[in-house]
Amino acid sequence: MSDEIIVHEYAVGDVVAEAAYPITRDSLVRYAGASGDFNAIHYRDDVAASVGLPGVLAHGMLTMGLAVQPVVDWVGDPARITDYQVRFTRPVVVDPADGAVISVLAKIGQLDEEAGTARVDLTATVNGETVLGKAQVRVLLP
């Protein structure tokens, strides 16, 4: 056992990652194939409209996965993610011509120096509107 002390140089409020992810209708088709989620609201405007949606929506799990990716990149190993939770607050409408862009900002929300962990709070937005609420990732600090 080592007596080595690891000091992390992070503070609550530090931005640790930022990213923007464009999504197109092609992205939705590819994600549907990979995930097996072929719900027509993710690729057909007429079906989305028939159930009262403003347009074709990105898959929730795709949105959730893109939102955590900057944190995975920051910590360098997906095994360092110990918990991840979100609330879906607004659907991501994917325009047939322009698509959508999910912008993600990751900030330290809480530190536990003794355990070597942090809670990272995510802000995920599309066109300036938040699409995930209470998006929090627990990580083992790199």
CA distances (Å), origin 126, targets 8, 14, 34, 74, 104: 32, 22, 23, 22, 9
Q: How confident is the model at residue 9 (pLDDT cuts 50, 70, 90)?
A: confident
* 115 pLDDT above the threshold of 80: yes
Residue ranges and CATH numbers for the domains of the chain are 15-23+59-140 (3.10.129.10)
The whole-model pTM stands at 0.89
Report pLDDT for 142.
Answer: 75
Specify the higher pLDDT residue, 5 or 108: 108
Cα 23 to Cα 33: distance, rounded to the nearest angstrom? 15
Q: What percent of the chain has pLDDT over 90?
A: 92
Report pLDDT for 78.
Answer: 96
Q: How many CB atoms lie within 10 A of CB 56?
A: 24
Q: What is the mean pLDDT of residues 126-136?
A: 97
Q: What are phi and psi of 14, to 5 degrees?
A: -65, 135
What is the distance, to the nearest Å, from the Cα of residue 75 to the centroid of all Cα atoms in its chain? 15
Report pLDDT for 6.
Answer: 47
Q: How confident is the model at residue 8 (pLDDT cuts 50, 70, 90)?
A: low
Q: What is the mean pLDDT of residues 80-101?
A: 97
